[in-house]
A and B are shown apart, each in its own frame.
Chain A
Amino acid sequence: MSLIDFFMKHQREILQATLEHIWLVGSAMLFAAAIGIPLGILVARRPWLSKPILGGANIAETIPSLALFGFLLPVPWLGARADRLAIFALLLYALLPIIRNTAAGIAGVDPAVREAARGMGMTEGQILVQVELPLSFSTLLAGIRIATVLTIGIATIAAAIGAGGLGEFIFRGLAMVNNQLILAGAIPAALLALGADFIFSFLERRFQPVRA
């Protein structure tokens, strides 16, 4: 049976797994952005927090994903549902690029612009929302792009703890020494990563601030 035939025959299962995969990555990215962007702003505002926050996120990044899933399994509320656990673990991996890029984007705003904003009588909140975030938005998006591509890859491991997604095919294929099964997981995952990269790259260019 050729690969194409295999894909045609199992298209419903593949689609199902792809949607699960998107659900895992999408949920993780939403939470990671909701946590990572404010932390990035905090790091930009209070440089002395940069070491503990970025250091913490860095440590999360260094834990092998299979081990992290294993470590989290006995945690009471988290371990109760496999997808909940997977989303939490993916979120940890996504944090570092988001925090780092948010902080770098804000730090990269022209000091003259910031001084002018302050001198005009803008409040700290107004400077953040009206000046710093719009001007650093493309850098922030780059962080989200990197984190998304990263988590799409790592999410395949989540199948090891029964969280579903495209990793199911890969693990089954490995167990059964069936390359077509492995590819049924790997190819859609690669396409998802490429698609996410393409969309976010497009948005990044769209929001690229023009320099005088």
Chain B
Amino acid sequence: MSANPDHVTAGSLAVEFREVGYVLPNGQPLLDGINLSVLTGETLVLLGRSGAGKSTALKLINRMIDPSAGEVLVQGRSTREWDPIELRRKIGYVIQETGLFPHYTVEQNISLVPRLEKWPPDKIHARVSELMSLIGMNDPGFLRRYPHELSGGQRQRVGVARALAADPPILLMDEAFGALDPLTRGEVQREFLELKNRLKKTIIIVTHHVGEAIFLGTRIGVMDAGNLVRVYSPKEFMAANEPVAAAYVANLRMYEDAERNTANEVEGKS
């Protein structure tokens, strides 16, 4: 449990970074002095360029790596005190290209963590059906398919279902929608927004898409060169003066302006 009086009571913090640094074995620093509190039930988006340290920060949460400095607390306990296997089974993890097992059917992929946790078969079966309807793939024929027999969007949905299988309180998503074409991406994101509003989980999303950050995030943490620049609400983010956030907003405006101009031209002609 957190004993730090400066922080909100430990119970309401799902994840906390305290002065966290991470240095690669070859000496290259990836993260420096990160302080971040993720509230239970919120969706925090880490936004930044490739190489800004977003994925590294995510991997510290489920102890895929250990911090070189400071500590990361999950549910009030330092990740160093957690058994990594136990910790990871309590945290859903969705990665780009999903990492679905190509030799497992959809059903085997989704039921992986419940099977590792030795749930009784009827409970696993019920859970898989529940998840399949949650991701809108109700047709039982899907269960026996292999990942290569699914579309990219379907694979991504199955990846989310697999991460949610054992009902973990925390969900980590590393560029989870990154490999999808824009239209599929939009569809899956819209579904995911609905899903997350129903599930009330703590979600941490890593992305370099500013649109995704604003669409899904309750707060947006802007990262740059291994530092967490600031954490904004979506509204604050849109009005931010700080250069990195402002650059993202300007990037967003660039498309909006082009859209508006084109729309005006179309109207002007007709």
Interface residues of A (CB under 8 A from B): 110, 112-123, 126, 131, 134-135, 209-212
Choice from A110, A210, A211 contacting B99 with Cβ under 8 Å:
A110
Q: How far is the CA of A110 from the CA of B99 in the complex (A)?
A: 8
The answer to whether A211 and B148 touch across the interface, beta carbons within 8 angstroms, is: yes
Chain B residues lying within 8 Å of A114, measured Cβ to Cβ, are 99
Interface string of B81-119 (1 = CB under 8 A from A): 000111111000101111111110000000011001000
Interface string of B145-174 (1 = CB under 8 A from A): 011100000010000001000000000100
The answer to whether A116 and B95 touch across the interface, beta carbons within 8 angstroms, is: yes
Q: How far is the CA of A116 from the CA of B97 in the complex (A)?
A: 10
Taking CB as reference atom, which chain B residue is nearest A118?
B64
The answer to whether B101 and A211 touch across the interface, beta carbons within 8 angstroms, is: no
Chain A residues lying within 8 Å of B116, measured Cβ to Cβ, are 120-122, 126
Choice from A119, A122, A131, A134 contacting B64 with Cβ under 8 Å:
A119
User: Quick one: given A131-B101, A135-B103, A212-B100, are A119 and B95 in contact (CB under 8 Å)?
Assistant: yes
The answer to whether A120 and B88 touch across the interface, beta carbons within 8 angstroms, is: yes
Q: How far is the CA of A212 from the CA of B109 in the complex (A)?
A: 14
CB distance from B228 to the nearest CB of A (A): 22
6 pairs of A and B residues whose beta carbons are closest in the complex: A116-B99, A121-B88, A119-B93, A121-B89, A112-B99, A212-B148
Q: How far is the CA of A154 from the CA of B101 in the complex (A)?
A: 40
The answer to whether B64 and A112 touch across the interface, beta carbons within 8 angstroms, is: no
Taking CB as reference atom, which chain A residue is nearest B163?
A120
Interface centre among B93, B98, B101, B147 (most CB of A within 10 A): B101
Choice from B97, B98, B102, B113 contacting A210 with Cβ under 8 Å:
B102
Chain B residues lying within 8 Å of A122, measured Cβ to Cβ, are 85, 112, 116
Choice from B103, B112, B155 contacting A120 with Cβ under 8 Å:
B112
Taking CB as reference atom, which chain B residue is nearest A135?
B103
Chain A residues lying within 8 Å of B207, measured Cβ to Cβ, are none
Q: How far is the CA of A110 from the CA of B96 in the complex (A)?
A: 12
User: Quick one: given A120-B112, A126-B116, A212-B147, are A115 and B103 in contact (CB under 8 Å)?
Assistant: no
Q: How far is the CA of A123 from the CA of B148 in the complex (A)?
A: 25
B43 within 8 A of A: no
User: Quick one: given A120-B116, A209-B103, are A115 and B148 in contact (CB under 8 Å)?
Assistant: no
The answer to whether B86 and A121 touch across the interface, beta carbons within 8 angstroms, is: yes
Q: 12 other contacts beyond A120-B113, A121-B84, A123-B85, with CB at 8 A cut-off?
A: A112-B98, A113-B101, A115-B64, A116-B101, A117-B99, A117-B101, A119-B93, A120-B93, A121-B116, A135-B101, A212-B100, A212-B148
User: Quick one: given A112-B97, A113-B102, are A120 and B89 in contact (CB under 8 Å)?
Assistant: yes
The answer to whether A116 and B93 touch across the interface, beta carbons within 8 angstroms, is: yes
Q: How far is the CA of A121 from the CA of B172 in the complex (A)?
A: 13
| Sample of 12 A–B contacts (CB below 8 Å) | A110-B102, A112-B97, A113-B100, A113-B102, A115-B64, A120-B89, A121-B84, A121-B89, A121-B113, A122-B112, A122-B116, A212-B100
